[in-house]
Amino acid sequence: MLAAIILVWEVVCRALHVSDFIFPAPSAILRSLGQYAGPISGHALQTFWTTMAGFAIGVGVGVALGVIVGSSRLMYTALYPLMVGFNSIPKAAFVPVLVVWFGIGTVPAILTAFIICFFPITVNVATGLATIEPELEDVLRALGASRMDVLMKVGLPRSLPFFFASLKVAITLAFVGSVVSETVAANEGIGYLMMSAGSQMRMPLVFAGLIVISVMAMAMYVVFAAMERRMTGWATRGMDARA
Amino acid sequence: MSDAFVEVDKVDLAYDEVSGNAIEDVSLSMKEHEFIAMVGPSGCGKSTFMKLCSGLRRPSKGQVIVEGREVSGPLKIVGMAFQNATLLPWRTTLDNVLLPLEIVQPYRATFKRDRGKYALKAKELLHSVGLDGYENRFPWELSGGMQQRVSICRALVHEPKLLLLDEPFAALDAFTREELWCILRDLWMLKRFTVVLVTHDLREATFLADTVYVMSKRPGRILARRVIDIPRPRELEVTYTDKFVSIVHELREHIGRIRKA
């Protein structure tokens, strides 16, 4: 499928003599990748680790908030509107504020990644917890289990499928966050690379940057999908059986 | 002080003011090691009565006294099994059976240290219900009847004095049901815990219980009390004898009258 798309892309670009400036052909992009492999990998690494750092914070905060919101009716109704409101603010608008507070470069990238990606995690964990079958809880409560017991033994395991689903969304968002931040104000990272390449009219390099980002995001997606399959095989067994 | 193990004294329970009393003026007393059954039409409050005995709910009026003390919260000497086995799908059968031991004191405190010993006890229970070799399977790999058996093992693993069964066999086919009656009967004869069995099935109640209580339509009241004087041990054959049939018939009349009323 992918090969077919690349082939068509290449053919169209050659046949219609599309200028490199508008829409580079795959061969041109590959050439750029090869030519600038050193700098590209340097910037890619920067983007990667800032994204992972922001993502890690996002997971921590997302799960904690999700547990608070999902466990209590009161918290659910109180915090949800606040979070939705917060999440509706375009994060690109945030970056200048973060730069003023923390300076150019790494910290705003990490923070932007974190701010963008924690919300889906919170929503999913909260939903997972709020929808536990009461019968499961009753079994434990009849034994005198505390709320913490019920959470640790039933609530969180039950919510794992929801959690992993949100991880797959959150990781892509985290990449968006850090790249956006780098685009606006940074000296390193793929976002910065794309900005400066664009300003020098080196479009193949820009596209190369794009491809590097999506490869990284896809790789992480695959990692989480594998973890999900191992840890929540019980939940997708219906799907696996039908396959 | 009566020698009753469980005493329910003029109890009302309403879930909320709008729907009124689910059960009303219910009084009964059970001796230790007794096997009692509650039968009645749908919605008569049998499950509500269960929640009372287990301490999951408190009465709106009246008292529930277990072992001489008023019930004010969930009791750890109670084991419960419901109509849905509700096994945790991410745990193996063995881990599901061990679950109560991770929660109830004094087992909980020594769980890590004595896990091997507890696992042996759990395996022994699984063996006694005929589930040898299934310890490492997951719940979805078991049939409905097998899951119910696991559920009963889970209810018994912490050696409760009181076993509450809320229509545990209702979702099973007739043959599996009769098989599980015998398994429950044998377990009870061996360990002699006190049992409250809620069921729709009059034959089940008559076969297993010492005493059967009939509840009315909502708000549930105790309408009748029938001591089952068929000698033990009871084999399945006894369900075809005249005496058995006439007892079931008598219970059926009670229920029929309730349903018509």
pLDDT, tens only, A199-222: 888 888 888 888 888 888 888 888
| Type and span of the H or E element at A235 | none
Cβ-Cβ contacts under 8 Å between A and B: the total is 56
Burial grade of B206 (CB within 10 A; 0-12, 13-18, 19 or more): buried
Please name which of A10, A35, A7, A45 lies closest in space to residue A202, comparing C-alpha atoms: A35
Task: Considering only residues A61 and B23, tell me which one the structure prediction assigns the higher pLDDT.
Answer: A61
Other C-beta atoms lying within 10 Å of the C-beta of residue A78: 11
**Residues B73, B169: one domain?**
yes
pLDDT per position as a tens digit, B5-22: 788 888 888 777 777 777
Inspect the interface and report whether the beta carbons of B74 and A135 lie closer than 8 Å.
no
CB atoms within 10 A of CB B118: 20
Q: Are residues B70 and B169 in the same domain?
A: yes
The helix (run of H) or strand (run of E) holding residue B222 is: strand B222-227
Considering only CB atoms, A237 lies closest to which of B76, B140, B158, namely B140
Residue B233 has φ and ψ, to the nearest 5°, of -75, 140
What was the pLDDT predicted at A146? 84
Helices (H), B157-231: 174-191, 202-208
Give B-chain residues touching A133 at CB under 8 angstroms: 86
Do residues B152 and B25 both lie within one domain? no
Contacts of residue B100 in chain A, CB cutoff 8 Å?
143
Pair B155, B169 in one domain: no
Asked if the C-beta of B75 comes within 8 angstroms of chain A's C-beta atoms, the answer is yes
CB burial string A15-41: b at 16+ within 10 A, e below: eeeeeeeeebbbebbeebbeebeeebe
- Give the SS3 label for residue A41: helix
Work out how many domains chain B is built from and give that number. Answer: 2
Kindly state whether residues B245 and B167 are assigned to the same domain. yes
Specify the fold of A28-231.
Answer: MetI-like fold (1.10.3720)
Verify whether the Cβ–Cβ distance A149 to B75 is below 8 Å. no
Decide which of A30 and B193 is more confident: B193
**Percentage of chain B with pLDDT > 90?**
30
- Would you list which residues of chain A are within 8 Å, Cβ to Cβ, of chain B? 133, 135-136, 138-145, 149, 153-154, 157-158, 160, 232, 234-235, 237
Instruction: Let me know whether B154 and B165 are in one domain.
Output: no
φ/ψ of B212, rounded to 5, equals: -115, 130
* B169 and B251 fall within a common domain: yes
Mean pLDDT, rounded, of chain B: 86
pLDDT digits (tens, 9 = 90+) for A76-104: 788 878 888 888 888 778 788 888 888 88
Summarize the confidence of residues B225-232 as an average pLDDT: 90
DSSP SS3 for A11: helix
Residue B20 sits in the same domain as residue B121: no
Measuring CA to CA, which residue among A151, A94, A98 is closest to residue A128? A151
Identify residue B41 by its one-letter amino acid code: P
Reported as a pLDDT band with limits 50, 70 and 90, residue B36 is: very high
Residues B33 and B47 in one domain: yes
- Check whether residue B218 and residue B205 sit in a common domain: yes
Q: Are residues B127 and B234 in the same domain?
A: no
Which member of B56, B89, B102 has the closest CB to residue A142? B56
CATH number at residue B31: 3.40.50.300
Averaged over B73-96, what is the pLDDT? 86
Could you tell me what percent of chain B has a pLDDT over 70? 98
Q: Is residue B91 part of a domain?
A: yes
Helices B144-156/B174-191 angle, 10° precision:
20
Residue A201 contacts by C-beta under 8 Å, 6 or more apart in sequence?
Answer: A21
Annotate A157-194 with b (16+ C-beta within 10 A) or e (fewer). Answer: bbbbbbbbbbbbbbbbbbbbbbbbbbbbbbebbbbbbb
- Contacts by A197-204 with C-beta closer than 8 Å and gap 24+? A201/A21, A202/A32, A203/A20, A203/A21, A203/A22, A203/A23, A203/A24, A204/A20, A204/A24, A204/A28, A204/A29, A204/A31, A204/A32
Please give the pLDDT value at position A53. Answer: 92
Residue B3 has pLDDT above 80, yes or no: no
Domain range list for chain A: 28-231
Rounded mean pLDDT, B228-236: 90
Q: Is B171 on the interface with A (CB under 8 A)?
A: no
Vertex A35 angle, CA A29 and A39, to 5°: 100
Could you tell me the residue range of the domain that residue B93 belongs to? 86-160
Q: Which residue has the higher pLDDT, A240 or B210?
A: B210
Average pLDDT over residues B158-162: 87
Tell me if the bond preceding A39 is cis, omega within 30° of 0: no
Q: What is the pLDDT of residue B123?
A: 92
- What's the whole-model pTM score? 0.76
Q: Are residues B102 and B207 in the same domain?
A: no
What pLDDT, on the 0 to 100 scale, is given for residue B74? 77
**What pLDDT does B213 receive?**
92
Query: Both tokens of residue A116?
Result: 């963008």
State the average pLDDT for chain A: 83
Q: What is the pLDDT of residues B94-150, one digit of tens each?
A: 999 999 998 887 788 888 888 899 999 999 989 988 898 899 999 989 998 899 999
Whether B121 is covered by a domain: the verdict is yes
Is residue A60 predicted with pLDDT exceeding 90? Answer: yes
> Inter-chain contact B82–A135, Cβ cutoff 8 Å?
yes
Query: Does some domain include residue B98?
Result: yes
